[in-house]
Structure 1
């Protein structure tokens, strides 16, 4: 409501005095209110366009790496650098027996992360087992929908055909996790069907979210580029086709190889493939959709001498 002031001319002097005082108070009150409203309306809201997460994988393979993983989690909890953590598979060495106590032990260790933690299947705890079905049952018991052990604000959805595959959107980024393991092909029909279902899941989500997100990150375990690319073709063809149609930046994060690779292995130049170091190491990945190339990587953020410093690569 606009401020109005009463004329003092026809009033007696005593009344005029008090009305004058009230008018002055009203005047300054109106100026203060109008200034406050103007400041609120004119101040632009700062939109946060980046999200950081931590990737680990291929760990633990022995007692030393088990201790290293516990140390990583302790340091990670102390500085809280990420919105979430992703383990890209292999919680044990492939040659070791697929003993239920190992799944239970690693599950308990990973639950000590304060940040919500996701995990995808690796071949060592599933496909390399002497009884793959038994290994899968152990994994489902201790790791299926592992993220539900934490409160996580975005809504996570699961693929109806493969409930181990998950997805959500956050900060204009589409995140997808798929059951993409390497090593032996025990059943060619099962292998083909699983890869097709993975590819169809990625394709479907990209088509649904193309107007809502500015980037995508996919998590899977296997090295599908150097480690026998032909056997991954049912997935790779669908993935690359969907990426080409999407046209926006895509990051594919994998484990499996135990050494760092960051490249663009396919003609679709919007896809960056990252193979993490694995073992008892971690990398912080930041996605900033305000940048032309939105992905940056910090492999030293948990180094004792480097905490509270930025070391993007």
Structure 2
């Protein structure tokens, strides 16, 4: 595969000039809407995004409602219809408030699957999306030598230990499989999940985290874990594997523009005021 535009390149040169790879720009939102103000603000954010954003896609990193609110189907319908107003293809991963924190988590998941599973298919999107056979809410694609992965990793209480461990195992397998298979094909990775897996009781995520860290060490290229959950912006490197950067977004009606430049050794940059 050649990305070079000069047909007179000497045949001894590499077939691909990494400087020709276009950065990937996307928008992240999450933990929204939590209240009437956020519900009323979200259409305005979407309209501004449609008018001025350069993002090739949008990701909602989970929590479409407050945890204390009942998991009734009308909430899922409402937020689904709101997010469909984005002109950019929009992806979403599960949050605990619409799933794990429901009085009946299986019912919450059923509503989510009905209204959000493979949500991106409401738009045309050039990269080929793959879904995990055992867990179709987990997705992946490659775009401009960047691997994107979405996983169902939520916080809050462990209401069913077997379900919890099985889900984390599936998540770990999905990430490990892709990092191993695409190591020579991509320059960077972005993992979308909801949960903060390091603060609080981090041990309950070990089934995923231990595999993620070991796979990242072997991959040895930049990885971004982009999460919601905490509602306060920060970025850090929480593990000894320094190729993993973790970002927690503001949440609410505030969006962040993320740029992934696969030509750079530090490929990730953020703009939290791009819609102001």
If the length of structure 2 is used for normalisation, what is the TM-score?
0.93
> Match of 2:247?
274
- The alignment partner of 1:141 has SS state of helix
- 3-state SS, counterpart of residue 182 of structure 1: coil
CA contact (8 A) 2:53 2:275 kept: no
Distance in structure 1 (CA, Å) of the matches to 2:75 and 2:81: 10
Which of 97, 102, 117 is the matching residue for 1:129? Answer: 102
Say whether 1:287 aligns with 2:260. yes
Q: Equivalent residues in 2 for 1:5-16 (5 A)?
A: none
C-alpha contact 1:77 1:115 (8 A) present in aligned 2: yes
Mapped partners of 1:77, 1:261: distance in 2: 26
2:21–2:262 Cα contact (<8 Å) kept:
no
| 1:159 is aligned to 2:132 | yes
For structure 1, which segment, 61-70 or 167-176, has the greater mean C-alpha deviation from structure 2 after superposition? 61-70
SS at match of 2:20: coil
Partner Cα distance (1:243, 1:205) in 2 = 11
TM-score scaled by length of structure 1: 0.82
Q: Per-residue deviation at 1:55?
A: 0.2
1:142-221 equivalence runs, <5 A: 142-221=115-194
Which whole-Å deviations, capped at 9, do the CAs of 1:122-161 have from their partners, x for residues lacking one? 0000000011111000000000000000000000000011
The corresponding residue for 2:13 is none
Displacement of 1:40? 7.1
* Distance in 1, Cα, partners of 2:264 & 2:177: 26
The equivalent residue for 2:224 is: 251
The offset of 1:80, in angstroms, is 3.3
Q: Aligned with 2:154: secondary structure?
A: coil
Q: Is the 8 A contact 1:49 1:172 kept in 2?
A: no
**102, 106, 112: which one pairs with 1:139?**
112
Evaluate the alpha carbon distance shift between residue 210 and residue 101 of structure 1 in structure 2; reply closer, same or farther with a 3 A threshold. Answer: same
Question: Where is the helix percentage greater, Structure 1 or Structure 2?
Answer: 1
User: Which residue matches 1:29?
Assistant: none
3-state SS of paired residue (1:128): coil
Name the residue aligned to 1:80: 53
Distance in 1 (CA, whole Å) between partners of 2:176 and 2:102 is: 30
Count of aligned pairs between the two proteins: 265
Give, in angstroms, the shift of residue 41 of structure 1.
Answer: 4.5
Separation in 1 of the partners of 2:131 and 2:208?
18
Aligned pair in 2 of structure 1 residues 183, 41: CA closer, same or farther (>3 Å)?
Answer: closer
**Is the CA contact 2:140–2:149 (under 8 Å) kept in the aligned structure 1?**
yes
Task: Point out where structure 2 has 5 or more consecutive residues left out of the alignment.
Answer: 10-15
The C-alpha deviation readout for 1:86-129, integer Å capped at 9, x for no partner, is 00000000000001001000000000100000000000000000
Between 1 and 2, higher relative CO (CA 8 Å, sep ≥ 6) is seen in: 2
| 1:63 maps to 2:33 | no
Instruction: Report the alpha carbon displacement of residue 42 of structure 1 after superposing the two structures with TM.
Output: 5.1
Structure 1: stretches of 5+ with no match in the other structure: 1-38, 304-313
Q: Are residues 1:120 and 2:93 paired?
A: yes
